[in-house]
Amino acid sequence: MFGAVLAAHPRLVAVLAHAGLPDYAEALRLVRCYPPVHLDTTMVGVPFTEPFAALPADWPARLVDVADRVVLRDERRTSGRYAVWVVQLDRGVNGFDSER
């Protein structure tokens, strides 16, 4: 449905909230087709959303070619666990070791 809006307005700058949850593949297709479209990561791949919108196992690899249009945002920073999650994300993506 949103694809029709982007097709009619291809220069529209848009951020697809929650990475298009639950249709991650369609959201990623829109990001690839329309350069002004970005992907937001709020609540993506967290215990709350995994039961009904699990990320594909190869999700990080799918983002490589659009990494400059992925927006890192997470609502959990208010819970005090935000810093831990960022370290876990960095460790998963960059092999970061917080113990060094």
In a domain, 23, yes or no: yes
More confident residue, 75 or 16: 16
Q: Kindly report the CA angle at 84 between 83 and 88, in degrees rounded to 5?
A: 115
Alpha helix positions (H), 9-81: 24-33, 59-63
Q: For 42-51, what is each residue's pLDDT tens digit? A: 888 888 888 8
CA distance 48 to 40: 17
In a domain, 71, yes or no: yes
Residue 38 has pLDDT above 90, yes or no: yes
> What is the domain count for the chain?
1
Range of the domain at 68: 2-94
Q: For 79-91, what is each residue's pLDDT tens digit? A: 445 455 555 555 5
DSSP letter for 53, please: S
In a domain, 14, yes or no: yes
In a domain, 99, yes or no: no
Q: Give the pLDDT mean for 10-26.
A: 93
Q: What is the pLDDT of residue 100?
A: 43
